[in-house]
Amino acid sequence: MAAPSSAFSLSPLSKARLAKAQAELASRDAKMAAAIDRVGPCTLLPRREGTHFGHLARNIIFQQLSGSAAATIHSRFAALVGGDAQAPDPHAVLALAPEVLRQCGLSTAKVRAVQDLAAHVVDARLPMDDLDGMSDEDVIAALVPVRGIGPWTAQMFLMFRLGRPDVLPVLDLGVRKGAQRIYRTRALPDAERLTKIARNWRPWASVASWYCWRVLDLEDAGGW
């Protein structure tokens, strides 16, 4: 296991920390400063409702689906499992036969993924209660053995669930496209190029990545 992370890297993003991140990013990077000015305040606060298991199960269900279709399937899944929709019981998930879960609209692959996640939680291969205190690298290492969870999903968990400040999803297409517009690169940055661009983002790469996503939402984003 990696060495323990500093309190800085483990402390989740808050309104105060987001304000500090924006100020520091803008002071050292004029192009990011312009993006911050155009987009406005960052709202990347961790989503803490429910449980880690519920959050990950929802992420698996939503993968590669439109928002409305995924929401419908997730609602059916929650109703079938019972209890709190945002905090489903992994034991209850494992108690359901795969063909029953398929009735929610889940594909066979997603049924296997959700039940594999539940199995990892029940037998403690995935130590849910320890994730908040683990380094980013150790969280990713704990999550990726679960079927249906790859490095990108693990990074999104770090950013949106745990609120980690310095996550850089180098393979995320939206981050790459946003960086291309902010920094006016001729080609879409690959992982190596994005890592170089992001040197000025540390230790706030999560916040800078959020601005890369958001510039794509601007009405005149093509002008970047």
pLDDT in tens, 122-149: 999 999 999 999 999 999 999 999 999 9
Q: How far apart are CA 29 and CA 34, in angstroms?
A: 9
Q: Which residues of 150-184 are buried (b: 16+ CB within 10 A; e: fewer)?
A: eeebbbbbbbbbbbbbbbbbbebeebbbbbbbbbe
Q: Which residues of 201-215 are buried (b: 16+ CB within 10 A; e: fewer)?
A: beebbbbbbbbbbbb
Q: How far apart are CA 207 and CA 32, in angstroms?
A: 11
User: Which residues, at least 6 apart from 166, have a Cβ–Cβ distance to it below 8 Å?
Assistant: 9, 136, 202, 203, 204, 205, 206
Structural element, H or E, at residue 211: helix 205-215
What pLDDT is stored for residue 29 in this prediction?
97
Tokens of 179: 């960086």
- Kindly state the DSSP code that residue 2 receives in the 8-state scheme: P
- Kindly state the DSSP code that residue 132 receives in the 8-state scheme: G
What pLDDT is stored for residue 2 in this prediction?
40
Dihedral angle at the C-alpha atoms of 85, 86, 87, 90, nearest 10 degrees?
Answer: 70
Position 109: which residue type?
A
pTM (2 decimals)? 0.92
User: Which residues, at least 6 apart from 117, have a Cβ–Cβ distance to it below 8 Å?
Assistant: 53, 56, 57, 60, 90, 126, 146, 147, 148, 149
Q: CB atoms < 10 A from the CB of 199, how many?
A: 10
Give every residue of the chain whose pLDDT is below 70, as ranges. Answer: 1-5, 221-224
Domains (range + CATH), the chain: 9-46+167-223 (1.10.1670.40), 52-160 (1.10.340.30)
What pLDDT is stored for residue 221 in this prediction?
56
